Amino acid sequence: MQWLRKPSNEHRTTLYRNISLLSIVGHGGMGKTTLLQHVYEDELTKEFDLKMWVCVSNNFDVKKVIADMLSTLKKKRPRLDESLDALQNSLRTEIMSKKFLLILDDIWEEEEENRDISKWEKVLAPLAFGKIGSRILVTTRMASVATMIAKVIKTKKETFKLEGLEEDQCLQLLNSHAFAGVENPTDDYKRLRSIAGEIVKKLSGSPLAAKVIGGVLNSSLDERHWTRILNSDFTSPKLGQDPKLGQDYIFPILRLSYMFLPKHLQNCFAFCSMFQQDYRFDKDDLIRMWIALGFIQQPHDQEWTMEDIGGGYFDDLVRKSFFDKFEDFGEYYKMHDLIHNLAQSVSMHECLRVKDGTKLPPIIPKTLRHLFVETTNLDIIKKIGQVKYLHSLFLFTEASNQDICSILIEIFKVSRSLRLLDVYAPALETMPEKIGNLIHLRYLAMMNEKVTMLPRSLSNLYHLQYIISFPKLGISQSKVDFLPSDINNLSNLRYLTLSDYYISSICGIGKLKSLQELNMFDLRDVSGYRIEELKNMNDLCKLGINCLENVKDGEEARNAQLCEKRRLTDLTLCWSDTNQRNIDLHENVLDKLQPSKCLRNLSIKRYMGARSAIWMNNVNPIFNLEKIELTDCLECEALPPFGQLPFLKSLIIEKMPKVKWLESKFNGNDKYDAFPLLEVLHISFLDALEDWFEAGVAAEDGCLFPSLIELEIENCPKLKELPSLPSKVKMLNIFKIGWTTLNFCSNSNPIPLESLWVFDCLNITSLPLADEIARLAALRYLTIRDCPNLISLGNYPEVGTSNNCHLIISDLCISDPSVLLMEPLRSIASLKKLSIGWNDEVVSFPNEAEQWFLKVSSSLSELNFSSLKSLEFLPSSLESLSSLQRLYINGVPMLRELPNLPPSLKRLTIWRCHPELKERYREDGGSDRHKIAHIPHIDFHPR
């Protein structure tokens, strides 16, 4: 952190003079990556314009590393079939004149150092265009790598050697895992704590070893178990100093942790060597593979499914630190490199990975059960047929349709023991019918968009449990025979990943009694497609039913037997047409669709009943609900007692124009304890909504929604203003609301609000931002649009003045430039992005607004002018915006001339503007083209 803070005082004249480099060097498992994860997320790093994290590992590829940098920046992965030049140019564009922080995690050195240097020169060349103060942090196990990277960017080598933990710290870490979930471990288990103290002396201060051995100890708090581990040999077998095995002192410790796993967990863990290093594991999909391969023990209790038991196995491995959990656009898991090496070591006789550059071994052991092949070499693929006893095959190839089909046919003739088959072949158009030979197949994955039809023989594979396929709807939607007509023979099928279109085409889907997810089933008044098909599908966890208007009456609805589905956690009920307003029929049908009490998520759409279902008006049947969504229920007059649900976290209500209150006396709630755990509330198009609670229900001075974090209100014209903003709200969006102002919390605590949107509120006259300036330190995103009567953003409080209390906003969006002259925006301290638009009246910016731009000149990096029909002149002060990098002008038809633009500008994009503007600034001979010639990227789009 000190290194990040210190200014770069090294005077270099080289290409990379703007970049400082620090290498973190340490043995495997010492915590290099963990350390930099904490640094990467620290507040200090917000001063960087860009942050990139790339996990390099030992399968180093130039294009992949650059693509990883780009995907971090753009949140979208570029295609690897792009040329190296194209990828380098894209990266250069993204980081041009920006101060960046780059983490290069886990770099290895190849045997030929010169080849390594040339590859890294290609990777790092685009980074030379970054702004001064840019930083690169490297983690590696080898000091030679630090020397090599420093040589590439021509700077002195600066390293931080990460040694092992001190013994007391290592013991603290070991104990935190060994006694996880144990109450009062300090007072009890004194003998065990003494044994732990002896064990930790053998761990060489390795945090990874402490975590893993701690997990092994945690599996049994029995003194004999702990003593066995203490007396185990922590030092053999000797594995030499191969850095890939993490030095000889740690690898035997990891192997020991594997040996203490029960056999079923050993099998599950060893199989994970089939996936590449740094692979992002999806928990659910891995569990499906374990089930297919027979690694999961059969449940003794009918309340448990195979997936439940597999989930327990996975959680055990997480607790024992064989997996680490991450979150980035969803939850995923990874193995530490050394743990992955361990998996490879213990599975070498059963598992084999073959990629381009490697070969099948000349003699294939008869014990080989799991094979992964990714190659363009057809000769290698053809040899797969030599392996007769495979249980799983992962085949990734870009061979032609004809080649891959003929190869698959040969494999299907020989490898009849296959239980898992995963084929990714972009050219594949149809899976050969010979797949019917694989009578033991449980899991089939086909990630091939060109496939237009699944083989007919598939429906004879009675053991099949999982079919995962993603055909392109555009190609095969018209083909009603994508699935075999007798696919419903697969009574063991547990999971089917296809579009709702294909699943709804299955006639007699009720025969698939083991199916666990049926995301949306379209009902028809035709035999084989009626709601009675659901009667015996009692293993369903997720269910969506559409076209409920095709159910004749309540008794037919009862045939779905939803209350018997004890595993059902997610339920969506939809009618497809709001014009059919048979109120009695809708009410009778919904009454008979009562789910079991285990339901967590409920969504109801286009229900035309005037009242809620009987089972929804009693808290007990819906006691466990966590998320509710009601949409287009146009006749419903009152909501069920959702406020009394103890676990409800998310409530979304849209287009229910007759509802007057969120919670009413009718629900028997006359004291203020409604919605105790609600975190997300979205309400929109509730035309009759008058108040949050019916009069007499809620105390005015009570704490409204005590746990609420996200509140969005749209088109509720009669709704009374909040008594005060809920104390935990971080995001508040209000659209088309009749309020005149906004009340913040009445207490003196900081207001955690991070994002505020006020949009199209005609009655709003004031927003008290200045009044609460001292408590609004978290506010970063502010939008004020189409509020024509807004005249004030409040007044600074008497204590504290504008001199020492400013808003620090990242993103500001407004429609009226005069808002910039209201305090506290007038004295704004920092701003990165500004959008001005959606205003038909503004012609030019007043002089005061011109001056305002100068106040943010050192921080503003992006500026947008959009949908300004009358604007003729942009602010002339744009020339002084020294940090401006991106300027977007869209829908400004009267603009004929640009002011002088700053030298820092890197991208200029102009859409739908006056033809004269494009003529004057066009690339081939425009009279004013020279005024913008310094901008690297200029995009003009048609009017």
pLDDT for the residue 873: 92
Residue 501 CA to residue 482 CA, distance in Å, equals 11
Q: Given a cut of 60, is residue 801 above it in pLDDT?
A: no
Residue with the bigger pLDDT between 799 and 864: it is 864
Q: Given a cut of 60, is residue 93 above it in pLDDT?
A: yes
pLDDT for the residue 727: 85
Do residues 560 and 535 lie in contact, with contact meaning Cβ atoms separated by under 8 Å?
yes
Estimate the crossing angle of helix 167-178 against helix 190-200, to 10 degrees: 130
C-alpha angle 688/692/697, rounded to 5°? Answer: 120
Instruction: Give the lowest-confidence range in 96-110, 323-337, 357-371, 761-775.
Output: 357-371
Do residues 228 and 186 lie in contact, with contact meaning Cβ atoms separated by under 8 Å?
no
Q: Which residues in 184-339 belong to E strands, given as ranges?
A: 324-327, 331-334
Instruction: Give the lowest-confidence range in 285-299, 323-337, 373-387.
Output: 373-387
Average pLDDT in the chain: 87
pLDDT band at residue 862 under the 50/70/90 scheme = very high
pLDDT for the residue 785: 94
Structure token pair of residue 110: 């190849």
Residue type, 904: S
Residue 137 CA to residue 150 CA, distance in Å, equals 11
Among residues 713, 729, 753, the alpha carbon closest in space to that of 679 is found at 729
pLDDT for the residue 891: 92
Estimate the crossing angle of helix 247-259 against helix 337-346, to 10 degrees: 60
Does residue 734 sit in helix, strand or coil? strand
Structure token pair of residue 50: 């860009």
pLDDT for the residue 108: 81
DSSP string, 377-392: -HHHHHGGGG--S-SE
| Helices and strands: H and E segment counts in the chain | 23, 33
Residue 655 CA to residue 567 CA, distance in Å, equals 31
pLDDT for the residue 381: 83
Structure token pair of residue 239: 């594995």
Q: DSSP letter at 272?
A: G
Among residues 852, 757, 762, the alpha carbon closest in space to that of 814 is found at 757
> What is the layout of strands, in order, in the sheet containing 370-374?
351-355, 370-374, 392-396, 420-424, 443-446, 466-469, 495-497
Compute CA distances 250 → 41, 202, 273, 336, 887, whole Å. Answer: 29, 10, 19, 13, 54
Residue 152 CA to residue 136 CA, distance in Å, equals 12
Do residues 398 and 376 lie in contact, with contact meaning Cβ atoms separated by under 8 Å?
yes
Do residues 861 and 835 lie in contact, with contact meaning Cβ atoms separated by under 8 Å?
no
Q: Given a cut of 80, is residue 894 above it in pLDDT?
A: yes
Any residues with CB less than 8 A from the CB of 547 and at least 6 apart, and which?
522, 523, 524, 574, 575, 576
Do residues 412 and 390 lie in contact, with contact meaning Cβ atoms separated by under 8 Å?
no
pLDDT band at residue 700 under the 50/70/90 scheme = very low
pLDDT for the residue 701: 44
Give the highest mean pLDDT range of 142-146, 302-306, 564-568: 564-568
Instruction: Give the lowest-confidence range in 133-142, 613-622, 801-810, 877-886.
Output: 801-810
State pLDDT tens for residues 624-638. Answer: 999 999 999 999 999
Does residue 663 sit in helix, strand or coil? strand
When pLDDT is averaged across residues 331-344 and rounded to a whole number, the result is 91
Look at the block and give the residue holding tokens 């060994």. Answer: 178
Kindly report whether the global pTM for this prediction surpasses the value 0.95.
Answer: no
Residue 568 CA to residue 774 CA, distance in Å, equals 48
When pLDDT is averaged across residues 732-752 and rounded to a whole number, the result is 86
Residue 398 CA to residue 448 CA, distance in Å, equals 11
DSSP string, 575-592: -S-TT---HHHHHHHHHT
Residue 22 CA to residue 41 CA, distance in Å, equals 18
Among residues 107, 102, 98, 120, the alpha carbon closest in space to that of 53 is found at 102
Residue 812 CA to residue 824 CA, distance in Å, equals 13
* Percent of the chain surpassing pLDDT 70: 92
Residue 680 CA to residue 252 CA, distance in Å, equals 49
pLDDT for the residue 245: 42
When pLDDT is averaged across residues 712-722 and rounded to a whole number, the result is 90
pLDDT for the residue 244: 46
- The pairing of strands 755-759 and 731-737 is parallel
Compute CA distances 17 → 66, 167, 691, whole Å. Answer: 21, 41, 62
Q: What are phi and psi of 167, to 5 degrees?
A: -60, -40
Does residue 674 sit in helix, strand or coil? coil
Contacts made by residues 802-809, CB under 8 angstroms, sequence distance 24+: 802/827, 805/773, 805/774, 806/773, 806/830, 807/769, 807/773, 807/776, 807/779, 807/782, 808/777, 808/780, 809/779, 809/780, 809/781, 809/782
Q: Given a cut of 90, is residue 6 above it in pLDDT?
A: no
* Phi/psi-derived region of residue 692, left when phi > 0, alpha when psi is between -120 and 50, beta in every other case: alpha
Query: What letters, b where the CB count within 10 A reaches 16 and e where it falls short, cover 7-17?
Result: eeeeeeeeebb
